[in-house]
Structure 1
Amino acid sequence: MFKLNLKIALRNLWKNKGITAINVGGLAIALAAFILLMMYATYETSFDKENPNYDRIYAVGIAYPEFKTNYVAAPFAKAIKQNFPEVELAGLVKGSSFELVIKNGKNTIFTNNILQADYHAAKILNIQPNGGLQKPSGDAQRLTYLSEENMRVLFPNKNDHKPEMVGFGASNSGITGIIDGSIKKNVQSNFNFDGISIGNEFGGSDNYDMNDYTIYLQVKPETDVIKLSQKITDLYRAELLKSSGSKKTIDEVKGIATFLDPLSNLHLRPKAGNNGPYKVLIALSILGVLMLVIACINFTNLSIAQAAKRAKEVGIKKVLGAYRFQLTIQFLLEIFMQCMTATILALILAELVLPSFNNLFQVKLAIWSFGNDLLLQLPLIVCIITVVAGTYPALVLAGFKPALVLKGNFSTSKQSSWLRSGLLIFQFSIAVVFIIGLFIINSQLKYMQNEDLGFTPNQVVYIKNISFFNQPVKFEPVRDKILKVPGVQSATVASFIPDGKASGINNYTANGISANIDFVDVDFDYFETLDIKLREGRFFTGDFKTDTANSAIINESAVAKYGLKNPIGKIIRGCEINYKIVGVIKDFKSQGFENSVQPTIYMIKDPCSNFKTQIMLKVDRRQMASALATLKAKWPEINPLDGEDFRYEFLDELYGKLFKKQEQLQSVFFAAAILTIFIAGLGLFAFAKYITNGRMKEIAIRKILGATDLQVLKLINTSFFVMVVIANLLSWPLAYILTKKWLKTFAYSIDIPMMPFILSTLITIVLTLFTVSLQARKAAKANPVDALKHE
């Protein structure tokens, strides 16, 4: 019996090749998109899961009244371990602040991120160098490991784990060090690095003002993390009050709390960061599921549309003794075969699209990789799709009454008609949401690209550098040499560049108000190089000796933060210095559009500073190529510590990376909108075909009574037009709520325009009229005799 049913299924599928191709093709496309998006979701939610203590690791953060941060003072790690027995390990990690050049003869690498970690942190984070994790023998010893890729570049013929001597900086710098071995990089980790330096212990002093480390804790099983977090807060407040370096009052300390951020949060939704990536991932996951649902709806409608052609077969089989259950199983078998075919095609499509997908999201996903759970889950997904998309059509086909269908009555119930209409409206509602979302994402991205940033990153060259220029007198000879290069208009150095990354934060007091605000340590010509606008006062200049001692410039947000009226000449105190405000600059979006402009102070002298290493040059566009070539040739003379290793990036390109997530989302929504419109169009085609076939007699009679082709087209199009309008009206509130929620992730965003809603309606109406008219035209042109002759 199975063999017979299989033959019948294959014959029927082959007989209706066009409909089968549409059915299988639509499902394959949706399933391919679902596979890619689910693989990406699995990848993003699997960071650091290889760590055996994944569920017991937390980062310690500090919550100030104005912001949250994961940067903490180093001695606090030891204090936590000493006071709380439920903490098994407490470790410290610190990232590098500049690109480091490492050489072995002519072999050179440029490392962007050499992590510093104590031995306890290395154990917590499961950092395993090749040859095993070793504990440094003393407080002074540091064990340094480079990634396997970097070690292969430096030592192409190395086959052991023995230490090697390398040079740092320029070839003639004379700075050397030992690399103790290699370590495998885990790209699917929050702790991705070019190399790591492991020390026995960090943070010997009791200074709680220098918050430049991240503390990680490994707690014992069954620990009450909420209670532990409160106890850590109490300890931190006590340590601040007794710290010799801290000058905070009791009232200030009461406004400070700590929190524990699980390792599982750090990649997508850190408490001290932006959870935008998590929201985007949720949106992409829902998008993948909805596309599959739409394809299933389309599959269902198209299968029911073919019911009339199978009605007589069902009637004859029932007359010959077939049970409804047997017929249902037969039709489910046909649908399962189509789903299996669609799955195979989906895997092929996904494999073909995967390189572009990986390039878009900057990942390295592989469908056929070992341990890919999706391949194991696909058979279950196919069975679910078969049941969801095939059960109702199978029951409809198996439920035909023999006496009626053999007379030519193939109509289904009104309940079926309402269900199919509802499914079609649902399909188009989702498609409309995607179309509106695409238009609004595109509008926000255009706004971000065209909006005035408050500074000009164009023509600014950022030069990577390892020399420290904390004092203007050290950078002055370098600036003089740089300015002699034709095309270079200005040069400056600072502790941070406006590329979207957060700057340093410290406590400053003005107008009787104490607050934590951002700080940037700069040199002369910083504001002129970036074309930052002055609101009042003046910029730093060598004409005033006090500018290198105790002058400061603040932005408009800082003026508002401290409630300063006539701020020029007022005092703002921080780092044991009374700074005199000499200028106020207009706010500029140094951290992009997702974060609001922070109150910021700019100084030349700062005892609490980070190192000034970020060199920026303003270069004439017409002489850009020649200027860069000259700088490269003369760099050993200009900046001997960097020597022959001249590296640069364009600031506008660095800033443009802030738009990457939105550009990814735009690309995905564009693809999703096209696919959902295509799949919804297939569903519309199926439903139009079904309705038209069911009304052939009616159309024939109307034509005999004198109806024109235009009247027939209007008759069939009217009901579909109404359904699409209803779909738009239902989707508008949902689209508005979802896009409004997405726009709230930006500090600076557009107001939701009306045009996307109007355009989505026009697009879906035109698509509907075109698709339905293709079927209606066939019915209008058909000979009425063919529809009525069997009567």
Structure 2
Amino acid sequence: MFKLNLKIALRNLKRNFVISMINIGGLSIALAAFILIVLYVNYETSYDKHNPNYENIYIVGRDLKDFKTNFTPPPLAEIIEQNCPEVALVGKMTPSNLEFPLISDAGRIYIKNTMVMNFNAAKIFDLHPQGGLKQPQGEIERLYYLNEASMRTLFPNKKDSMPELVLMGGKTLGLTAPIQGKIVPNPHSNLQFDGVAIGNNLGVAEGFGFPNYYTYIQVKPGTDIKALEAKIDRLMKAGMIKEKIDMGSLKNERVFLDPLANLHLKPQAGNDTNYKVVMALFILSMLIVVIACINFTNLTIAQANKRAKEVGIKKVLGSYRQLLTMQFITEILIQCVLSMLLALMLAELFMPTFNNLFEVPLSLAAGAEELYWMLPLILLIVTFIAGVYPALILSGFKPALVLKGNFEAGLQTSWIRKGLLVVQFSIAVIFIAGILIVNRQVEYLHTEDTGFEANQVLVIKNQMMYNKPEVFATFRDKVMKINGVKSATVANVVPGGEQTGSNGYTVEGREALLDFIDVDYDYFETLGIKLKSGRTFSKEFKSDTLNAAIINETAAAKYGLLDPVGKTIRGCNIDYKIIGVIKDFKSQGFEAAVQPTIYAMKNPCGNPRLSIMLKVDAAQMSAVLAALKAQWSGINRLDGEDFRYDFLDDLYGRLFKKQEQLKAVFFTASMLTVFIAVLGLFAFAKIMTSNRRKEIAVRKVLGASDFQVLKLLNSSFLWMLLIANVLAWPLVYLLARTWLDTFAYRVELSVVPFALAGVISLLLAVITVSLQATKAVQANPAAVLKHE
């Protein structure tokens, strides 16, 4: 019986080749997109799952009421270790973002991301350096490891596992360090680095006033996390009180524990934008499959008339409905299998493009474990969704009505087909309106005023600490002699998403937590930041280097100050005098709101000023770069051999990378959805027009014009498209509002995307239906009616 069903199925595929290819092609495209996105979602949601203690690892964070941070003081690790027996391991680490060269006889590399950690942190993250994980000797020793690519560059002919000596920071310094060997960071981990320095303890001389470390804990199975969280919170506050830390606005601080599973997509100290993007992609892929299944179901039902006599004769000859149902399901299963095979080929074909867009190493081979059980399940689900109902419809025809010749399956299934078409185009409208809204927001990110000027600003990579204005003055004097350099400044961070520190500051008895940024002269002038009131730092006022401060509009509003200039603000054990208020600027991009911030030239709580920024005349950029490179050894003694730079607008633009990816994928998904919907409408219109050929011929004989007939054929589809738009618009609004709410600064929703989506969908429907209807309209009525 199966062999007979298989033969019938193949013959029907051949007889209805165009419709079958539309069915198989549309479904295969949808499944290919689904496979790619499922692999991506699985990759993004499984970071660090290779770690054997994945479910028991947490990072200790601090909730400071206004924001959350994962930075904690170094003594916290020791306190947890001594007082929390339910914690198996306590590790701490701190990132070193200082970029410096390592030099060997064979080559030179630049270390950009060094992770300094204690031995327990290396154990928690299951690190396996070359020669095995070894514990350093004593409190001072550090064991240094580099990633495989760096080791290959520095020591291309290395065969043994003995340590190698390298120069650090340039040949002129004469600093050396032994490299123990290579360490390969798992690319599927939250912990990424170029190199690792492992010690026994970190931050020994630093107290609770130096929250510059990440503290990780590995708890014992079955630990009550909420109770442990409260216990660590009490220990933290007791330590701060013991050290007489001025808690100020930190009195509302509390400790939280964030599981390792959250850190990649939805960390508590951060935002869940990445998680929402991943889930949005998964939902999009599901919708594409749904629209393809609807397409499949609709076209199968629409062809029912062609199979009616076959069903009638088989039933008269004694065939049972169950056997007929199995026959039709077999036909649909064959089409689904062909679609799945074609989908795998398409997924493999477009995998490199997808990987390049999202910078991931996906492959069908690597994802075989997930796909092994998933693809057969998807195949069965798609076959069931797309095939069971059409099979029941086709197998349920009444033999008497069919064989009399007065049976029209369309009358029985018309409402079903129309309903499915409405759902299909509702999804298409959601995609069309969605891409218009996404495109508008992404364009807004690139065109809206950020409050500062990133163009023509060089960010020079540097090892020299310019914490004192008099030290940087020498540097400034040298670079300002180069034609084309308009201004020069240095700070501890640049506006490109870099995180800065925070501290409590008091004005007129009111306490608040402010971000602090350490700057030098010409910082605001170099970045084109506008002044709201007062003045910026000036060499004419010597006190500016001691106790002058500038705040932004948000900080002034937080304190409720209408005229802050001249008032005193206390923080870091200094009474600062506010000399100016700057307009807010979006240093963290558009997703995070501008934080209340204070700028000072003297800040005991601050980090080293390493980020040099130069404003350069656009017409002389090439000449300035050449001059800086040639003169760098005389300008900056630590980096004399290595002049390296970035453009600030490029650094800032990286903040929009995820949204650019979402836009690209959403655009592709929208095109696929519209393409599948139009394919379905094309085939549906072809079948419907074919079924109404006699009606069209009779109307033409009775005097109807071609335009009137085309209008008649389009009218039923247009009503369905209008209903689809009305159903889609509320969903589009809810989805768009949810996505836009992830931005602190966003466009306002208007009727334009909704109206455009409606117009585009209607135009596509009219063009698609008219292309099919024109053939029937132009046919000779005599040729159609000659057999009547």
Q: TM-score, normalised by structure 2?
A: 0.97
Give 1:705-724 correspondences, 5 Å limit: 705-724=702-721
In structure 2, the partner of 1:46 is 46
For residues 406 and 591 of structure 1, the distance between their equivalents in structure 2, rounded to whole angstroms, comes to 73
In structure 1, the partner of 2:656 is 659
For residues 677 and 248 of structure 1, the distance between their equivalents in structure 2, rounded to whole angstroms, comes to 58
Q: Deviations over 1:121-157 (max 9, x none)?
A: 1111112212211111211111111111111111111
Q: Structure 2 unaligned runs (5+)?
A: none
In structure 2, the partner of 1:404 is 401
In 2 relative to 1, CA 416–107 (structure 1 residues): closer, same or farther, beyond 3 Å? Answer: same
| Aligned AA (1:698) | E
For residues 733 and 367 of structure 2, the distance between their equivalents in structure 1, rounded to whole angstroms, comes to 42
SS at match of 1:654: helix
For residues 367 and 292 of structure 2, the distance between their equivalents in structure 1, rounded to whole angstroms, comes to 29
In structure 1, the partner of 2:629 is 632
Aligned: 1:598 with 2:608: no
For residues 395 and 781 of structure 2, the distance between their equivalents in structure 1, rounded to whole angstroms, comes to 30
In structure 1, the partner of 2:20 is 20
For residues 413 and 78 of structure 1, the distance between their equivalents in structure 2, rounded to whole angstroms, comes to 77
For residues 474 and 204 of structure 2, the distance between their equivalents in structure 1, rounded to whole angstroms, comes to 37
For residues 411 and 740 of structure 2, the distance between their equivalents in structure 1, rounded to whole angstroms, comes to 43
Residue 372 of structure 1 and its aligned partner are, at CA, apart by 4.2
The question of whether the paired residues in 2 share the 8 Å contact of 1:171 and 1:643 is answered with no
For residues 199 and 163 of structure 1, the distance between their equivalents in structure 2, rounded to whole angstroms, comes to 16
SS at match of 1:95: strand
In structure 1, the partner of 2:615 is 618
Q: Structure 1 unaligned runs (5+)?
A: none
For residues 669 and 724 of structure 2, the distance between their equivalents in structure 1, rounded to whole angstroms, comes to 18
Q: Deviations over 1:66-117 (max 9, x none)?
A: 1111111110111112112111111101111321211112511112110011
For residues 144 and 476 of structure 2, the distance between their equivalents in structure 1, rounded to whole angstroms, comes to 34
For residues 787 and 6 of structure 2, the distance between their equivalents in structure 1, rounded to whole angstroms, comes to 31
In structure 2, the partner of 1:771 is 768
In structure 1, the partner of 2:105 is 105
The question of whether the paired residues in 1 share the 8 Å contact of 2:22 and 2:683 is answered with no
The question of whether the paired residues in 1 share the 8 Å contact of 2:428 and 2:674 is answered with yes
For residues 328 and 708 of structure 1, the distance between their equivalents in structure 2, rounded to whole angstroms, comes to 43
The question of whether the paired residues in 2 share the 8 Å contact of 1:170 and 1:640 is answered with no
Residue 63 of structure 1 and its aligned partner are, at CA, apart by 0.7
The question of whether the paired residues in 2 share the 8 Å contact of 1:493 and 1:614 is answered with yes
In structure 1, the partner of 2:415 is 418
Structure 1 residue ranges (4+ consecutive) displaced by more than 6 angstroms after TM superposition: none
| Aligned AA (2:342) | L
Give 1:475-486 correspondences, 5 Å limit: 475-486=472-483
Aligned: 1:29 with 2:26: no
In structure 1, the partner of 2:170 is 170
For residues 108 and 731 of structure 2, the distance between their equivalents in structure 1, rounded to whole angstroms, comes to 55
Give 2:272's match in structure 1, choosing from 266, 270, 275: 275
Give 1:251-400 correspondences, 5 Å limit: 252=249, 254-369=251-366, 371-400=368-397
The question of whether the paired residues in 2 share the 8 Å contact of 1:494 and 1:615 is answered with yes
Aligned: 1:528 with 2:497: no
SS at match of 1:468: coil
Shifted more, 484-493 versus 268-277: the winner is 484-493
SS at match of 1:357: helix
SS at match of 1:239: helix
| Aligned AA (2:667) | F
Q: Deviations over 1:478-509 (max 9, x none)?
A: 11111122211111111000112221111211
SS at match of 1:485: coil
Q: TM-score, normalised by structure 1?
A: 0.97
For residues 105 and 372 of structure 1, the distance between their equivalents in structure 2, rounded to whole angstroms, comes to 44
Shifted more, 608-617 versus 555-564: the winner is 555-564
The question of whether the paired residues in 2 share the 8 Å contact of 1:148 and 1:185 is answered with no
Q: Deviations over 1:2-58 (max 9, x none)?
A: 223222221221222211111111111111111111111011001000011111111
For residues 669 and 598 of structure 1, the distance between their equivalents in structure 2, rounded to whole angstroms, comes to 31
In 2 relative to 1, CA 403–789 (structure 1 residues): closer, same or farther, beyond 3 Å? Answer: farther
SS at match of 2:409: coil
Shifted more, 194-203 versus 3-12: the winner is 3-12
Give 1:568's match in structure 2, choosing from 565, 569, 574: 565
Aligned: 1:248 with 2:247: yes
For residues 83 and 253 of structure 1, the distance between their equivalents in structure 2, rounded to whole angstroms, comes to 23
The question of whether the paired residues in 1 share the 8 Å contact of 2:681 and 2:769 is answered with yes
The question of whether the paired residues in 1 share the 8 Å contact of 2:64 and 2:250 is answered with no
Q: Deviations over 1:405-455 (max 9, x none)?
A: 233344226562222211111111111111111111111111111111111
For residues 71 and 662 of structure 1, the distance between their equivalents in structure 2, rounded to whole angstroms, comes to 27
SS at match of 1:712: helix
Residue 688 of structure 1 and its aligned partner are, at CA, apart by 2.3
Residue 355 of structure 1 and its aligned partner are, at CA, apart by 1.6
Q: Deviations over 1:186-221 (max 9, x none)?
A: 111110111111111123246211111011111111
The question of whether the paired residues in 2 share the 8 Å contact of 1:595 and 1:746 is answered with yes
SS at match of 1:462: strand
The question of whether the paired residues in 2 share the 8 Å contact of 1:632 and 1:644 is answered with no
| Aligned AA (2:462) | N
Give 1:683-694 correspondences, 5 Å limit: 683-694=680-691
| Aligned AA (1:282) | M
| Aligned AA (1:393) | P
Q: Deviations over 1:569-589 (max 9, x none)?
A: 211111111111111111111
In structure 2, the partner of 1:447 is 444
For residues 534 and 243 of structure 1, the distance between their equivalents in structure 2, rounded to whole angstroms, comes to 39
In structure 2, the partner of 1:195 is 195
Aligned: 1:137 with 2:129: no
| Aligned AA (1:186) | N
In structure 2, the partner of 1:180 is 180
Residue 228 of structure 1 and its aligned partner are, at CA, apart by 1.4
For residues 544 and 613 of structure 2, the distance between their equivalents in structure 1, rounded to whole angstroms, comes to 20
| Aligned AA (1:162) | M
In structure 1, the partner of 2:219 is 219
In structure 1, the partner of 2:69 is 69
Residue 784 of structure 1 and its aligned partner are, at CA, apart by 4.4
Q: Deviations over 1:711-749 (max 9, x none)?
A: 222222111111100110111111011111111111111
For residues 72 and 359 of structure 2, the distance between their equivalents in structure 1, rounded to whole angstroms, comes to 31
In structure 1, the partner of 2:82 is 82
CA RMSD of aligned residues (A): 1.7
The question of whether the paired residues in 1 share the 8 Å contact of 2:302 and 2:410 is answered with no
For residues 735 and 601 of structure 2, the distance between their equivalents in structure 1, rounded to whole angstroms, comes to 45
The question of whether the paired residues in 2 share the 8 Å contact of 1:465 and 1:613 is answered with yes
For residues 416 and 160 of structure 1, the distance between their equivalents in structure 2, rounded to whole angstroms, comes to 76
SS at match of 2:143: strand
Q: How many residues of Structure 1 are paired with residues of Structure 2 in the alignment? A: 788
For residues 779 and 337 of structure 2, the distance between their equivalents in structure 1, rounded to whole angstroms, comes to 36
For residues 546 and 515 of structure 1, the distance between their equivalents in structure 2, rounded to whole angstroms, comes to 25
Q: Deviations over 1:232-260 (max 9, x none)?
A: 2222222221124x1226xx564111111
* Paired-residue identity, %: 57
Residue 60 of structure 1 and its aligned partner are, at CA, apart by 0.7
The question of whether the paired residues in 2 share the 8 Å contact of 1:304 and 1:690 is answered with no
For residues 32 and 584 of structure 1, the distance between their equivalents in structure 2, rounded to whole angstroms, comes to 55
| Aligned AA (2:590) | F
For residues 431 and 370 of structure 1, the distance between their equivalents in structure 2, rounded to whole angstroms, comes to 30
The question of whether the paired residues in 2 share the 8 Å contact of 1:161 and 1:182 is answered with no
Residue 404 of structure 1 and its aligned partner are, at CA, apart by 2.4
In structure 2, the partner of 1:674 is 671
| Aligned AA (1:485) | I
